[in-house]
Amino acid sequence: MFAWLGDQLVEQTATGGVGGATTTWCYLPGAVTPLAQVHTAVESSVDVPLRLGGAPVAAGVGCGGGVWSQPEVDRAFYALVTDHLGTPTHLVDPDAATVAGRASGGLWGQTSWAGEVSTPLRFPGQYFDAETGWHYNRHRYYQPATGRYCTADPLGLAAAPNPYGYPRNPTVETDPLGLMPCRAIALQNALRDWVNRSFTIGNIRLILDQRDLEHILTRHHLEYWDGSVKRTQTFFAGSPTTDELASIVADVLRENRAAVIEHGSINRYQINGLVDGTQYTVGIGEGHIRQLFPLEQ
């Protein structure tokens, strides 16, 4: 049996024999990222002393002379460690301070677990079906061996170009409902926290807004890359912050002050500049910073 909170799986219960087992998941508030997995195993029906405030009740007090008949419950709590998308990678036993389970897998979600425990949670919104090897993805089933859905996109009016395709870059996009790709939480946070920047060179004013930043991040930043590739594809070294990228833009603009004043803000053109030993290209057009990328070394 499964229990859902809206579109989020929160509990599963397997019954058999005299007992059963329940697994419960806790999530990051407002997100699809799991935080914890709790196992509750009902092993048998036994008599245990009734306790009030942690102390046994005296004989003759309460039902059955202070003894209740109730299941013997064995609970185990594990903290879930995930990657930047929210896919579980480790299960940690906080009592023993050890890694109780460790996942390994491929780019498209093929996963194997090593250790004492594992979790059926896969990509955000997905649940592993042991019988088929497929992943239940709310509105569809996903096959990690092929990186495709087993049924066509059910939206109809807003169907994807490839009706069986998963998001084209599973390192930055997810599809928790099996309906359409969602930007990774990290990219959403970067864009949400962004405050538009204005650069003034002489009487020329240029803007780096959220849309401009999204293009730069998804094309040339490995943490946010959308998987698209051009003939000369380059990436920023390391993991520069959005503030550091804005600083690079400012430095390149200052190096090319005369060219910027000459070409203005409306025309489309590119300028190059050296910042901390790396050559960068800044693309300008219609009053905006349209491009920022490192040149091939």
Please indicate, yes or no, whether residues 135 and 15 belong to a single structural domain of this protein: yes
- Compute the distance between CA of residue 59 and CA of residue 23 in angstroms, rounded to an integer: 35
Please indicate, yes or no, whether residues 15 and 138 belong to a single structural domain of this protein: yes
Distances (CA, A) of 250 to 205, 262, 281: 12, 17, 12
- Compute the distance between CA of residue 207 and CA of residue 285 in angstroms, rounded to an integer: 10
Which domain-ending residue is among 143, 163, 198?
Answer: 143
User: pLDDT digit of tens for each residue in the chain (297 aa)?
Assistant: 999 999 999 999 987 655 678 999 999 887 889 999 999 876 655 443 433 333 333 333 333 333 333 444 457 899 999 998 899 999 999 988 999 999 999 999 999 999 999 999 999 999 999 999 999 999 999 999 999 999 998 876 566 678 899 988 888 788 999 988 887 667 888 888 899 999 999 999 999 999 999 999 989 998 888 767 777 789 999 889 999 999 999 999 999 999 999 999 999 999 999 999 999 999 999 999 999 999 985
Please indicate, yes or no, whether residues 263 and 194 belong to a single structural domain of this protein: yes
List all residues 6 or more positions away from 251 whose beta carbon is below 8 Å from its beta carbon.
273, 275
The answer to whether residue 22 is domain-embedded is: yes
- Domain encompassing residue 30: 2-143
Please indicate, yes or no, whether residues 25 and 97 belong to a single structural domain of this protein: yes
End-to-end CA distance of the chain: 57
The answer to whether residue 285 is domain-embedded is: yes
Predicted confidence at residue 206, as pLDDT, reads 98
Q: How many CB atoms lie within 10 A of CB 61?
A: 11
The answer to whether residue 277 is domain-embedded is: yes
The answer to whether residue 183 is domain-embedded is: no
pTM of the shown model: 0.62
Which domain-ending residue is among 107, 122, 143?
Answer: 143
Helix, strand, coil shares of the chain, percent, nearest 5, are 15, 40, 45
Please indicate, yes or no, whether residues 10 and 85 belong to a single structural domain of this protein: yes
The answer to whether residue 62 is domain-embedded is: yes
Which domain-ending residue is among 88, 119, 143?
Answer: 143
Q: What are phi and psi of 227, to 5 degrees?
A: 95, -10
The answer to whether residue 259 is domain-embedded is: yes
The answer to whether residue 172 is domain-embedded is: no
Please indicate, yes or no, whether residues 196 and 252 belong to a single structural domain of this protein: yes
Please indicate, yes or no, whether residues 12 and 76 belong to a single structural domain of this protein: yes
Please indicate, yes or no, whether residues 84 and 193 belong to a single structural domain of this protein: no
- Domain tally, the chain: 2
Please indicate, yes or no, whether residues 36 and 131 belong to a single structural domain of this protein: yes
Please indicate, yes or no, whether residues 13 and 138 belong to a single structural domain of this protein: yes
